[in-house]
């Protein structure tokens, strides 16, 4: 099986790969040559469509489809914006890719911009990652000096200016329309949709926003063709996915996996996470970044129908909200039995409270409310009615907000209560035990 | 006619209307009337770009359009969602909408001080109306509320951030009416606040309008503060020859004294003509104005209480609703199985049913 094909990270261990020379020697920028010299923009869009690749930023929207929605009115510029804001707790794969393989992203930006007819493209980088901004800027200078960027690229007449813009460090600016507002120099409030960015995006012009990893896949698609790409993976989950794994596992880090890899193998084989640290066992998993529903170990390994779960969009979401989760952005957090779910839920909630932009009432008020109630429960001041209150508040936020941050704040709370209700009840009924340092509910026995 | 905009058919809570292409669900509903118009706490027609934030106006689209009659998966904000030909919208008739709206009321109130007794807005407060008409009477929020200190943001305007619902109307007003906006939203989430940057103050001929657009008592007129409860004052329509604005205002009297001047508002609480600060803050003598006559005041507004003979003998609607609800409660508990058919035939029963229908059809007589 082509189980360990590396589309993105094949060359990552070559010393000096972050420099233009080494990257070029390893076959880098071939895609730019091929695209600009031998292909038309529409042909590239067609290949990306054929590849079946889905957006890696979280929502999993088919990339080729997004590209083909881009409006092309006469005389109006079009923009490509790369979303490198990566701030979801648990997700750190774009960071890894950019710092180690800056030229891969630049190459992807060039071919994607060419395909979309953009002459000015942006990479919006999370504000905390200033050193990555410098790495990218250096890579851009190198590519420019080699004639792959700037005016008249490779003598083709195609111009492209690439701008790296650091953000101000707000999670909400990862939401694509908030990102565009921020890029325009405004307050990063998500916009009302429609209009979608494909029609009115940056500076009211048609714009495509794609994740770093999505864009980094395009050189391979151009070099090998969309059909080849679509052969990798499983079903509608084509290609590979970067998973940033953290928590109580033996080998935390960033992994490029072929979609469709069995969850069990990913979790327990030495090639990947190597299982839970010795002497402990898996309690729960957040499979795709803090906003996706948390799953208890049993539902993580097997779907409610008893099928083995795979690392793919479809398999992870099998069972919907009641018993499934989502692949999301690939922020994989494994928790062993020493993890207090209440505390963890409060921690996530605190994050969303802190990061809500405050535009729409359900999210602005609801995130703070949930955090306060969870804080109370965690600190031994909860009441039984608080549990249903949390469920109800989450329900009233979900789906009723401007942007998906509201949902992202509601899901972790709703799912934690759905799967770990007894733990919440124990906290409420045993405030003295529950507030002892390190106390964790474990069914019959209490770890303290 | 050549460039006539084509009309589309929209059905809202069972009532049909034809509106020009490009009309929002909210505007279509308003054309039908208050009985189907969704509440709006942030949308403000005169202000470009407003709306979408408070989520008070969420409705269910039961059928997207003639061409694609599928329902929309989520509730949509009616103030920013365009109507389509053949669209079927459910507002007060949809339990999901009613439930979500209860949630919005609750969200807007959890951190709200509810200091109506000392709030200048009480009596003409959209949050009071919204909560009264769409909320539940009990509270579940037992946490500490987030608070801010009151702040002067100009010599004539005071900000009570605690009462702000972050509708952004004042921000749009300043953006669209004045040369340079010096106030805006600082911070994020429930700590976001309206403020001026580095203790700036509002200085522009049209800044006073932020007071009128504010749906709550967050932005108040310092020349009027605490002078009177609004229902003790009497609004009259008046105008003057103003060189800066239309000069069409409402002058509010307490006895013979002009206690404040505001812009005139339409049925939806939206300003008809924005007025300048000179009219608002400086023209406070009857001799400054040509009085046109008493302003139209909605019958169910407390401002109308005991004035102009409008309400004489008229019971307030909420009392009738309340009585009807409780009467129904008693009625339901009765054991009427025995001679149900007989009861149903009686004139009394029919009259009662008719009355019930009227109360629950959400008919509101605003005029
Ligand atoms: C609150 C919020 C934060 C987000 N943060 C990111 C992010 O950091 N990086 C990212 O690529 N997408 C993020 N997204 C998703 C983007 O809105 C958008 O869907 C994505 O950038 C599209 O790219 P893709 O199709 O290539 O995945 C976020 C969405 C929301 C609602
Ligand atoms: S859901 Fe939250 S983050 Fe998104 S627009 Fe509304 S308040 Fe802002
Ligand atoms: S703003 Fe409205 S609800 Fe709030 S205190 Fe004032 S009158 Fe009461
Ligand atoms: S101060 Fe008033 S108008 Fe301005 S955002 Fe707050 S509630 Fe809205
Ligand atoms: S009125 Fe529509 S969201 Fe506020």
Q: What is the pLDDT of residues A104-150, one digit of tens each?
A: 999 999 999 999 999 999 999 999 999 999 999 999 999 999 999 99
**Burial class of residue B253 (count of CB atoms within 10 Å of its CB; 0-12, 13-18, 19+):** middle
DSSP string computed for B178-244: SSS--EEEESSGGG-EEEETTS----STTTTHHHHH-SSTTEEETTTTTS--GGGSEEEEEE---SS
Nearest to A387 by CA among A359, A427, A355: A427
B293: tokens are 């006559």
Orientation angle between helical segments B95-110 and A361-378, nearest 10 degrees:
70
Which neighbouring-strand residues pair with A295? Answer: A285
Residue A190 Cβ inside 6 Å of ligand 2? The answer reads: yes
CA B9 to ligand 5 center in whole angstroms: 22
Top-level CATH class of A341-447? mainly alpha
Q: pLDDT tens-digit profile of A344-400?
A: 999 999 999 999 999 999 999 999 999 999 999 999 999 999 999 999 999 999 999
Are A67 and A116 in contact by the 8 Å Cβ rule? The answer is yes
Token pair listed for B239: 């105008």
Assign B330 a pLDDT band (cuts: 50, 70, 90).
Answer: low
- CB A187 to CB B184 under 8 A? yes
Asked if B140's CB is within 8 angstroms of A357's CB, the reply is no
Look up residue A154 and give its two tokens: 């490779």
Quick check: helix, strand or coil at residue A295? strand
Under an 8 A CB cutoff, do A396 and B190 touch? no
Mean pLDDT, all residues of chain B: 89
User: Whole-angstrom Cα distance, residue B89 to residue B103?
Assistant: 20
Write the CATH number of the domain with boundaries B141-222. Answer: 3.30.70.20
What radius of gyration, in Å, describes the C-alpha atoms of chain B? 23
A413 by Cβ neighbours in 10 Å (0-12 / 13-18 / 19+) ranks as buried
Give the number of other CB atoms < 10 A from CB of residue B86.
16
pLDDT of residue B198: 74
Report how far residue B133's alpha carbon sits from residue B318's, in angstroms, rounded to the nearest whole number: 9
Quote the ipTM score. Answer: 0.93
According to DSSP, residue A76 is labeled: -
Question: Do β-strands A445-447 and B15-20 pair in parallel, antiparallel, or remain unpaired?
Answer: unpaired
C-alpha span between B360 and A358 (Å, rounded): 35
- B357 phi/psi in degrees, rounded to 5: -55, -40
| Residue A401 DSSP label | S
How far is ligand 1, taken at its centre, from the CA of residue A88, in Å?
9
Q: What is the pLDDT of residue A448?
A: 45
- Give chain B's count of helices (H) and strands (E): 9, 14
Check residue A218 and give its pLDDT. Answer: 98
Chain B: closest CA distance from residue A69 (Å): 19
**pLDDT given at position B279:** 97
* Alpha carbon A399 to its chain's center: 20
CA B40 to chain centre: 6
Helix B95-110 to helix A384-397 angle (10° resolution) is 110
Of the candidates A288, A313, A283, which has an alpha carbon nearest to the alpha carbon of residue A301? A283
Are the C-beta atoms of B48 and A354 separated by less than 8 Å?
Answer: no
Banded pLDDT at B365 (limits 50, 70, 90): very low
Q: What are the φ and ψ backbone dihedral angles of A241, each rounded to 5 degrees?
A: -140, 140
d(CA A242, CA A259): 10
Q: Which among A353, A362, A369 is the nearest to B104, CB-wise?
A: A362
- Three-state SS for A441? strand
pLDDT above 60: residue B363: no
- In 3D space, the residue among B208, B212, B187, B207 whose CA is nearest the CA of residue B197 turns out to be B187
Q: Which residues contact A45 (CB under 8 A, 6 or more apart)?
A: A64, A67, A68, A115, A116
A351 vs A359: CA distance, rounded Å: 17
Residue B348 pLDDT grade (very low, low, confident, very high; cuts 50, 70, 90): confident
Of B63, B81, B85, B80, give the one whose Cα is nearest residue B72: B63
Residue with tokens 């960033």: A254
Whether the link from the prior residue into A107 is cis, omega within 30° of 0, is: no
A4 phi and psi angles, rounded to 5 deg: -120, 35
Question: Which tokens sit at B365?
Answer: 């007589």
| Domain locations in chain B as residue ranges | 7-103, 141-222, 227-331, 334-367
Q: Reply yes or no on whether the pLDDT at B331 is more than 60.
A: no
Confirm or reject contact between A430 and chain B (CB < 8 A): no
For B264-315, how does the pLDDT look when each residue is reduced to its tens digit (9 = 90+)?
999 999 999 999 999 999 999 999 999 999 998 877 788 877 665 554 455 5
Q: How many helices (H) and strands (E) does chain A have?
A: 20, 15
Give the other-Cβ count within 10 Å of B357's Cβ: 10
Nearest to A404 by CA among A66, A70, A54, A59: A59
Query: How far, in Å, are A304, A356, B264 from residue B365 at the CA level?
Result: 54, 39, 20
Residues of chain B with Cβ-Cβ distance to A354 below 8 Å are 188-189
- Tell whether A379 is within 8 A of chain B (Cβ): no
Q: Where are the extended beta strands (E) located within chain B?
A: 7-12, 15-20, 58-63, 76-77, 87-90, 151-152, 157-159, 183-186, 193-196, 219-221, 234-239, 248-254, 257-263, 290-294
Is B42:B167 a contact under the CB 8 Å cutoff?
A: yes
Q: Using 50, 70 and 90 to split pLDDT, how confident is the model at B323? A: confident
Q: Does B39 touch chain A (CB under 8 A)?
A: no
Half-sphere exposure of A438 (CA within 13 A, CB side): 2
For B253, half-sphere exposure in the C-beta direction (CA atoms, 13 angstrom radius) is 16
Return the pLDDT at B300.
Answer: 72
Kindly state the tokens that stand for A445: 């026995």
Question: Cis peptide before A195, with omega less than 30 degrees from 0?
Answer: yes
Per-residue pLDDT in tens (0 to 9) along chain A, 448 residues: 445 799 999 999 999 999 999 999 999 999 999 999 999 999 999 999 999 999 999 999 999 999 999 999 999 999 999 999 999 999 999 999 999 999 999 999 999 999 999 999 999 999 999 999 999 999 999 999 999 999 999 999 999 999 999 999 899 999 999 999 999 999 999 999 999 999 999 999 999 999 999 999 999 999 999 999 999 999 999 999 999 999 999 999 999 999 999 999 999 999 999 999 999 999 999 999 999 999 999 999 999 999 999 999 999 999 999 999 999 999 999 999 999 999 999 999 999 999 999 999 999 999 999 999 999 999 999 999 999 999 999 999 999 999 999 999 999 999 999 999 999 999 999 999 999 888 888 775 555 4
Q: Do the chains contact at B187 and A358, CB–CB below 8 Å?
A: yes
Q: Where in chain A is the domain with CATH 1.20.1440.230?
A: 341-447
Percent of chain B having pLDDT more than 90?
A: 72
Q: Are strands A261-262 and A310-311 parallel, antiparallel or unpaired?
A: antiparallel
CB distance A117 to A72 below 8 Å? yes
Q: A31 with A111: CB under 8 angstroms? A: yes
CB atoms within 10 A of CB B244: 12
Q: Are residues A202 and A180 in contact, defined by beta-carbon separation less than 8 angstroms?
A: yes
Q: Label residue B188 by pLDDT band (50, 70, 90).
A: very high
Q: Which pLDDT score is estimated for B356?
A: 77
Mean pLDDT of B98-110: 97
For residue B73, give every residue at least 6 positions away whose Cβ sits within 8 Å of its Cβ, in sequence order, or none: none
Average pLDDT on B229-234 reads 92
Nearest ligand to residue B122 Cα: 3
Residues of A in contact with B60 (CB under 8 A): none
At A244-272, the pLDDT tens digits run 999 999 999 999 999 999 999 999 999 99
Element (H, E) at A242: strand A240-247
The per-residue pLDDT for B333 is: 55
State the CATH class of domain B7-103. Answer: alpha beta
Find, in chain A, the residue whose alpha carbon is nearest to that of B73: A399
- Asked if residue A345 lies in contact with residue A416, where contact means CB atoms within 8 angstroms, the answer is yes
- Residues of chain B with Cβ-Cβ distance to A346 below 8 Å are none
CATH 3.10.20.600 domain locations along chain A: 236-336
* Ligand 5 atom 1: residue of nearest CA: B40
What's the DSSP call for residue B57? T
Query: What gap in Å lies between CA A116 and CA A208, rounded to an integer?
Result: 8
Q: Which long-range contacts (CB under 8 A, 24 or more apart) does A315-318 make?
A: A315/A260, A315/A263, A316/A287, A316/A288
Which listed CATH number (3.30.70.2740, 3.10.20.600, 3.40.1350.10, 3.10.520.10) goes with A236-336? 3.10.20.600
The residues pairing with B157 across neighbouring beta strands, listed in sequence order, are B221
The mean per-residue pLDDT over the stretch B13-37 comes to 96
Name the residue among B74, B103, B166 with its Cβ closest to that of A362. Answer: B103
- Consecutive H or E run containing A137: helix A130-145
CATH number of A20-231: 3.40.50.11540
**Hey, which bits of A294-429 come out as E strands?**
295-296, 310-311, 331-336
């Amino acid at each position: 099986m082509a189980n360990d094909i590396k589309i993105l990270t094949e060359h990552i261990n070559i010393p000096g790969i972050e420099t233009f020379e080494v990257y070029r020697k390893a076959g880098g920028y071939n895609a730019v040559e091929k695209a600009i010299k031998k292909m038309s923009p529409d042909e590239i869009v067609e290949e990306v469509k054929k590849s079946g690749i889905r957006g890696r930023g979280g929502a999993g929207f088919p990339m080729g489809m997004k590209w083909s929605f881009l409006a092309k009115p006469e005389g109006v510029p079009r923009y490509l914006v790369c979303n490198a804001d990566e701030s979801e707790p648990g997700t750190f794969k774009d960071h890894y890719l950019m710092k180690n393989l800056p030229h891969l992203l630049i190459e992807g930006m060039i071919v994607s911009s060419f395909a979309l007819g953009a002459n000015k493209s942006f990479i919006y980088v999370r504000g905390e990652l200033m050193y990555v901004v410098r790495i990218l800027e250096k890579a851009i200078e190198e590519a420019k000096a080699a004639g792959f960027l700037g005016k008249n690229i490779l003598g083709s007449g195609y111009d492209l200016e690439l701008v790296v813009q650091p953000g101000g460090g707000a999670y909400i600016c990862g939401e694509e329309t908030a990102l565009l507002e921020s890029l325009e120099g405004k307050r990063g409030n998500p916009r009302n949709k429609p209009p979608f960015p494909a029609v009115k995006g940056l500076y009211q012009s048609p714009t495509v926003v794609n994740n770093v990893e999505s864009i980094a896949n395009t050189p391979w698609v151009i070099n090998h063709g969309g059909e080849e790409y679509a052969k990798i993976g499983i079903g509608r989950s084509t290609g590979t996915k970067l998973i940033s794994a953290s928590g109580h596992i033996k080998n935390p880090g960033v992994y490029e996996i072929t979609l469709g890899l069995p969850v069990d193998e990913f979790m327990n084989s030495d090639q990947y996470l190597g299982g839970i640290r010795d002497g402990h066992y898996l309690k729960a998993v957040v499979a795709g970044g803090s906003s996706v529903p948390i799953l208890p170990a049993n539902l993580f390994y097997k779907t409610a129908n008893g099928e083995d779960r795979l690392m793919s969009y479809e398999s992870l979401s099998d069972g919907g909200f009641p018993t499934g989760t989502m692949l999301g952005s690939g922020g994989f957090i494994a928790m062993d039995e020493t993890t207090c779910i209440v505390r963890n839920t409060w921690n996530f909630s605190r994050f969303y409270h802190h990061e809500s932009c405050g535009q729409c009432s359900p999210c602005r008020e609801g995130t703070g409310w949930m955090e306060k109630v969870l804080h109370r429960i965690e600190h031994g001041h909860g009441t039984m009615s608080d549990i249903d209150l949390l469920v109800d508040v989450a329900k009233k936020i979900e789906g009723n907000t401007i942007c998906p941050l509201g949902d992202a704040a509601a899901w972790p709370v709703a799912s934690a209560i759905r799967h770990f209700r007894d733990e919440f009840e124990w906290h409420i009924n045993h405030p003295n035990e529950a507030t002892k340092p390190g106390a964790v509910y474990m069914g019959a026995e209490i770890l303290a | 006619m050549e460039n006539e905009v084509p009309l589309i058919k929209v059905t809202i809570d069972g009532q049909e209307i034809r509106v020009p292409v490009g009309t929002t669900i909210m505007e279509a509903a308003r054309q039908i009337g208050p009985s189907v118009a969704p509440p709006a706490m942030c949308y403000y027609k005169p202000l470009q770009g407003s709306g979408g934030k408070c989520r008070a106006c969420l409705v269910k689209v039961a059928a997207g359009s003639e061409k694609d009659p599928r329902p929309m998966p989520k509730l949509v904000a009616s103030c920013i969602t365009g109507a389509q030909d053949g669209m079927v919208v459910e507002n007060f008739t949809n339990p999901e909408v009613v439930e979500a709206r209860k949630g919005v009321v609750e969200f807007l109130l959890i951190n709200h001080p509810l200091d109506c007794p000392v709030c200048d807005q009480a009596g003409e407060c959209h949050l009071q109306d919204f909560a009264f008409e769409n909320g539940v009477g009990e509270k579940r929020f037992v946490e500490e509320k987030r608070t801010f200190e009151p702040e002067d943001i100009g010599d004539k305007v005071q900000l009570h951030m605690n009462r702000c619902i972050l509708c952004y109307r004042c921000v749009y007003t300043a953006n669209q009416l004045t040369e340079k906006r010096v106030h805006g939203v600082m911070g994020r989430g429930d700590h976001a606040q309206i403020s001026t940057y580095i203790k700036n103050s509002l200085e522009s001929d049209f800044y006073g309008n932020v007071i009128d657009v504010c749906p709550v008592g967050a932005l108040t007129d310092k020349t009027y503060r605490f002078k009177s409860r609004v229902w003790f004052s009497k609004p009259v329509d008046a105008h003057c020859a103003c060189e800066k604005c239309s000069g069409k205002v409402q002058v509010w009297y307490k006895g013979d004294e002009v206690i404040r001047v505001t812009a005139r508002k339409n049925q939806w609480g939206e300003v008809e003509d924005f007025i300048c600060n000179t009219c608002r803050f400086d023209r406070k003598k009857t001799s400054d104005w040509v009085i046109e006559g008493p302003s139209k005041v909605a019958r169910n507004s407390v401002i109308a209480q005991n004035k102009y003979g409008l309400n004489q003998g008229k019971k307030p609607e909420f009392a009738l609703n309340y009585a009807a609800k409780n009467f129904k409660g008693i009625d339901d508990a009765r054991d009427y199985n025995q001679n149900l058919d007989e009861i149903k035939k009686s004139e009394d029963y029919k009259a009662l049913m008719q009355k019930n229908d009227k109360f629950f059809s959400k008919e509101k007589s605003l005029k």
